[in-house]
Amino acid sequence: MPLDPFAMERWQSTYETEVAYNLSESGIMPVTLASLVDHSWIREVLARQALGYGHSRGSPELREAIAALYPDAPADQILVTSGTAEANFLVTWWLVEPDDEIVLMLPNYMQIHGLAQGFGGQIRAWWLQADKGWRPDIAALESLVGPRTKAIVVCNPNNPTGAVLTPEEMDAVVRAAGRVGAWIVADEVYHGAEILRDLTPTFWGRYERALVTCGLSKAYGLPGLRIGWILGPREAIDALWGRHDYTTIAPAHLSDMLARVALSPRVHSRLAQRARLTLQSNLGLLTAWVTEQEERVTWTPPEAGAIAMLRYRAPVNSTALAERLRTEQSVLVVPGDHFGLDGFIRVGYGMEATVLAEGLRRIGAVLAIL
Ligand SMILES: Cc1ncc(COP(=O)(O)O)c(C=O)c1O
């Protein structure tokens, strides 16, 4: 199966450990093991745990805890995966057959885009509109969806823009899918990383053929656990579980245990509050910096996610700009080219404030001389 390189992940995998100021991350800075569990838990529970396979579709306790995040979700309609990345992989692998049409929200995390093309699907791009504050074009969606549409794929909250669909826009997606019996695949991994608004509504429960993917990597600050999940109709989840036998068999056993801790009510609310405080305070810093840049940088501030798309005025290609920031300033950002949007860079702001402030100062210094 020929696959296009996953440009953003290649870029991050290659350079993220080499730079001093990594502004390419999209989640809240990771928490430590010690802030999740105390020493007695580590000694009494973790240390005595046999390192067996664990439950292939996720432990019943973890699936119950995940189900509790959604209205009326049964635990047996959840499949726990190794990160949201595996969840997206399984869903795409299961759904997309040669010549299927896939209507895909853009810009987007390009995983499903690349995989769907690799599996022979035909992508029909549904763009969020940069000049309209990243709002979707509902009329365009209506004309893109037709009898050959197998799925409408959305990323909500959106990576890279931080935009969130309104309930009316979600209804329009459901109507378009329902008209032709298509699936809705909703990557909701930024759920819980809302900044100054309510939690993003989920596609779960709005449409019977919805497959929701999510995980602990972003709002929870736990990307290293590699815990994600898929929530959907029972037959679909059973079929996806069968595919999971071919990929990773089971989520890592220790990660399953720690994920249960993370989703226990007390820790969950502590992590949710940490996310909100970090996002609000760092967005203040980023907003002040954008204001200082005057017309050199413009944006629509994100509603969710620790990422913002910045449009810069300098006459330079975004990959060339990102390369220059990396080699001359030791700052890693994601070039807009990776999302098909030259003239933009994606900047993460979920890290320590000191790193963010210095990274931004260095970006500003380069933009000022271009
Ligand atoms: C929209 C989206 N989906 C999935 C992933 C992968 O997440 P995970 O670390 O849970 O595998 C990312 C990571 O950046 C993402 O932005």
Show pLDDT as tens, one digit a residue, over the chain (370 residues).
Answer: 889 999 999 999 999 999 999 999 999 999 999 999 999 999 999 999 999 999 999 999 999 999 999 999 999 999 999 999 999 999 999 999 999 999 999 999 999 999 999 999 999 999 999 999 999 999 999 999 999 999 999 999 999 999 999 999 999 999 999 999 999 999 999 999 999 999 999 999 999 999 999 999 999 999 999 999 999 999 999 999 999 999 999 999 999 999 999 999 999 999 999 999 999 999 999 999 999 999 899 999 999 999 999 999 999 999 999 999 999 999 999 999 999 999 999 999 999 999 999 999 999 999 999 9
Measure Cα distances from 236 to 94, 150, 211, 265 in Å: 9, 14, 8, 29
From the alpha carbon of 190, which atom of ligand 1 is closest? 1
For the Cβ of 215 lying below 6 angstroms from any atom of ligand 1, the answer is yes
Residues contacting residue 325 through CB under 8 Å, at least 6 positions apart: 331, 332, 333, 362, 363, 366
For the Cβ of 223 lying below 6 angstroms from any atom of ligand 1, the answer is yes
For the Cβ of 189 lying below 6 angstroms from any atom of ligand 1, the answer is yes
Counting the structural domains of the chain, the total is 2
Residues 274 and 260 in one domain: no
Q: What is the CATH number of the domain that holds 281?
A: 3.90.1150.10
* Listed residues 264, 289, 318: the one ending a domain: 264
For the Cβ of 220 lying below 6 angstroms from any atom of ligand 1, the answer is no
Which H or E element spans position 104? strand 101-106
* Listed residues 224, 240, 264: the one ending a domain: 264
* Encoded amino acid at 46, one letter: L
Give the Å distance between the CA of 299 and the centre of ligand 1. Answer: 23
Q: Which residue out of 108, 185, 217 has the highest number of ligand 1 atoms within 8 Å of its CB and is therefore the one to mutate?
A: 217
Residue 276: inside a domain: yes
Residue 321's φ and ψ, nearest 5 degrees, are -65, -45
Say what the pTM is: 0.98
Q: What residue numbers bound the domain in which 250 lies?
A: 52-264
